[in-house]
């Protein structure tokens, strides 16, 4: 079984035309969706279901920047799971920023200020977009030729930063739900 990129038949990269990948996902779904196998023998239905699940999982991986980065790191033979393997220390400036943002989020929650939470979320979405651009560049280098230790550290650091932003945005959404 290939990885997500092979399953979808696309070239591995961080920067992707998600619209094109979505169309590929749909084309594959047309061929494999269980509804198409409704009248077929049970073993065939099970095979199709299994394959359809793999394809949906591949789409889920490729479409989410964090999972996409993890899949690419796996291709490069670099472990990226949280808590496994040596990770570069998080830059102090980043930690300070995150602490500040968390404090502001906490205050907005206490004041039940949905507008403030929304603003913070958009701020972090902007930061997330920037680190994604960095990741795109780093991966572009790494996938072309064997990554140096420096590049490897950069990649892991950027992924770590992306994870922080993702967690922040998820938490902000939960808080917004609470307030509204």
Partner 1 sequence: MLLDIFDPKAPPQPIGIDLGTTHSTVACVRDGRPMPLVTCDGTPLLPSVVHYGDHGNVVVGTAAKAYATRCPSRTIASAKRFMGRGADDAETGRLGAYRFVAPATAEDAKIVRFDVGATFVTPVEVSAEILKSLRQSAVDQLHSVGGAVITVPAYFDDAQRQATKDAGRLAGLSVLRLLNEPTAAALAYGLESRENGLFAVYDLGGGTFDITILVLDDGVFQVRSTGGDSALGGDDMDRLLAEAMLGTMDCDAPEYQTPEIVSIALGAARQVKHSLTEAREVAVELPRRGGDTAEFSISRERFDQMIEPLLARTGRACRRALRDAAVDASELSGVILVGGSTRVPRVRAYVRELFGREPLGDIDPDLVVAYGAALQADLLARSSDDVLLLDVLPLSLGVETMGGAVDKILPRNTTIPVGAKSVFTTYADNQTGFDIHVVQGERELASDCRSLARFTLRGIPPMAAGMARLEVSFHVDENNLLQVKAKELATGIEQTVEVKPSYGLSDEQIEDMLIDAIDHGDEDFEARRLVEARVEASRMMLATEKALAVDADLLDQAEHQRVTGVLDRLRVALSEPANASRVQMLMGDLDEATHDWAGRRMNRAIQVAIAGKRVRDVEVEVADAAGVDAHLEAHGAKPPGGE
Positions that interact with partner 1 (CB under 8 A)? 8-9, 24, 26-44, 47-49, 51-54, 56-57, 59-60, 173, 176-177, 180
User: Minimum CB separation from partner 1 for residue 23, in Å?
Assistant: 9
- Cβ burial of 180 (10 Å; 0-12, 13-18, 19+) is exposed
Neighbours of 93 (CB within 10 A): 8
User: Minimum CB separation from partner 1 for residue 54, in Å?
Assistant: 8
Pick between residue 55 and residue 98 the one whose CB is nearest to partner 1: 55
Pick between residue 39 and residue 83 the one whose CB is nearest to partner 1: 39
Pick between residue 49 and residue 143 the one whose CB is nearest to partner 1: 49
- Cβ burial of 151 (10 Å; 0-12, 13-18, 19+) is middle
Pick between residue 26 and residue 141 the one whose CB is nearest to partner 1: 26
User: Minimum CB separation from partner 1 for residue 99, in Å?
Assistant: 22
User: Minimum CB separation from partner 1 for residue 149, in Å?
Assistant: 29
Question: In angstroms, rounded to a whole number, what is the distance separating the alpha carbons of residues 169 and 142?
Answer: 28
Pick between residue 35 and residue 103 the one whose CB is nearest to partner 1: 35
Three-state secondary-structure class, residue 180: coil
Question: In angstroms, rounded to a whole number, what is the distance separating the alpha carbons of residues 56 and 66?
Answer: 17
Neighbours of 44 (CB within 10 A): 11
DSSP 143-155: HHSPPPHHHHHHH
User: Minimum CB separation from partner 1 for residue 151, in Å?
Assistant: 28
């Amino acid at each position: 079984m290939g990885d997500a990129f092979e399953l979808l038949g696309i070239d591995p990269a961080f920067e992707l035309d998600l619209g094109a990948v979505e169309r590929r996902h749909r084309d594959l779904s047309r061929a494999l969706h269980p509804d198409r196998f409704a009248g077929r023998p049970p073993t065939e239905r099970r095979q199709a279901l299994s394959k359809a699940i793999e394809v949906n999982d591949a789409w889920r991986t490729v479409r989410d920047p964090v999972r996409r980065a993890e899949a690419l790191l796996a291709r490069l033979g670099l472990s990226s799971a949280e808590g496994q393997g040596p990770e570069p220390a998080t830059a102090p400036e980043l930690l300070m920023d995150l602490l500040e943002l968390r404090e502001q989020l906490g205050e907005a929650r206490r004041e039940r200020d949905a507008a403030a939470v929304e603003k913070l979320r958009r701020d972090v979405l902007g930061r997330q977009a920037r680190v994604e651009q960095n990741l795109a560049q780093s991966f572009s280098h790494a996938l072309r030729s064997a990554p140096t230790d420096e590049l490897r550290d950069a990649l892991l650091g950027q992924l770590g930063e992306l994870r922080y932003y993702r967690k922040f945005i998820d938490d902000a959404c939960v808080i917004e739900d609470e307030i509204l």
